[in-house]
Structure 1
Amino acid sequence: MPLSRAEIATPSGARLINRLCKHWAHKLEVEHSEQDAKIVFASGTCLMHAEPDRLLVSIETLEEEHLDQLEGVVESHLMRMAKDESLEIVWEN
């Protein structure tokens, strides 16, 4: 299964998880706690874990072509939820 990961430097990981999960809960299967999240998309799954100074994100898809698409969706939504905080997101796969 294709897998991509990003380690994002931010003190706001738990807040980002909370905002993102509330945003997606109305249309996707979402499980989350204060520090962890699992979001199930039609083409793959996103897992997030908040630490005090970073947010760990991993995306797993069934097919390679969906990986770039989900990276873009997750990244754009994280940027939007971060508001004024500048996030540097580099995907490794």
Structure 2
Amino acid sequence: MTLTAHIPTANASRYLQQLCKHWSHKFETEFDPQSGIIAFPMGPIRMAAQGDALVVTIDPTPDADVAAFKKVVADHLDRFAFREAPLTFDWK
């Protein structure tokens, strides 16, 4: 199951890079200003800065707690986006 959220923000690139840098000390990450991936144990997170939105895709492992996975991602992004938090996550 792959879940994707389109998160409206003018700061997509900044949040993408902050999230990748934040988790780079614990997990393998790759990122540039437009895209990033974080190798979480419960599945990878992929991000893309697209105009006025951050697109976040998670690919949970079969045994992952999907609700907790989505919450971890949302909580961390909201922390970085404190000036415009809470961000809107439309997981599909």
TM-score by length of 2: 0.91
CA distance in 2, matches of 1:34, 1:11: 13
Q: Is the 8 A contact 1:3 1:67 kept in 2?
A: no
5 Å-filtered alignment, 1:73-88, equals 73-86=72-85, 87-88=87-88
5 Å-filtered alignment, 1:64-75, equals 65-75=64-74
Match of 1:7 in 2: 6
TM-fit CA distance, 1:78: 0.4
> Tell me, which stretches of 5 or more residues in structure 1 are unaligned?
none
TM-score by length of 1: 0.91
Identical pairs, percent = 35
Deviations 1:13-55 (A, max 9, x none): 0000111111101001111011100001111010000012111
TM-fit CA distance, 1:64: 6.0
Provide the aligned C-alpha RMSD in A.
Answer: 1.2
Amino acid at match of 1:69: A
Helix, strand or coil for the counterpart of 2:88?
coil
Match of 2:19 in 1: 20
CA distance in 2, matches of 1:31, 1:16: 14
4+ residue stretches of structure 1 with deviation over 6 A? none
CA distance in 1, matches of 2:63, 2:3: 10
CA distance in 1, matches of 2:70, 2:31: 19
